[in-house]
Amino acid sequence: MADDDYVYDEATGEWRPASEMAAEAAAANAVRDASGNLLSDGDSVVLVKDLKVKGAGQTLKQGTVIRSIRLTDNPEEIDCRHESIKGLVLRTEFVRKR
């Protein structure tokens, strides 16, 4: 797209630059932790509270480090592995970037 391309924003009822609209869409899909830090694939995170893991019959304690996370299509969830739990999905509101 060229710099002079404009797109009609139905929410505001205004014509806005396409580059500005694309930047806002990318920021809206960004995955953030409980503190607002940007998360990416391969990051390590720390749990901010104790979590009972359904189906595993165990509790992950606050301060537990989870290494090598993977982002999912849902910006509120991350896919990760713990040494005793495989296929673990955590909500981003319960983790903080390490």
DSSP class of residue 10 equals T
For the segment 17-25, the average pLDDT, to the nearest whole number, is 85
Token digits of residue 26? 């990318």
Residue 11: pLDDT above 90? Answer: no
Look at residue 2 in the predicted model and tell me its pLDDT.
53
Torsion sign over Cα 11, 14, 16, 18: positive
Our CA angle for 69, 70, 72, nearest 5°, is: 135
pLDDT exceeds cutoff 80 at 26: no
Between CA 52 and CA 36 the distance in angstroms is: 23
Residue with tokens 């996370």: 69
Give all domains of the chain, ordered by start, each with its CATH number: 1-30 (no CATH), 32-97 (2.30.30.40)
User: What's the pLDDT at 8?
Assistant: 92
Nearest 5°: the CA angle 52, 41, 31 is 70
Q: Per the confidence metrics, is the pTM higher than 0.85?
A: no
Select from 61, 74, 30 the least CA-distant residue to 82.
Answer: 61
> Across residues 16-29, what is the average pLDDT?
82
Q: Tens of pLDDT along 68-85?
A: 999 998 989 999 988 888
Please, which pLDDT band fits residue 1 given cuts at 50, 70 and 90? very low
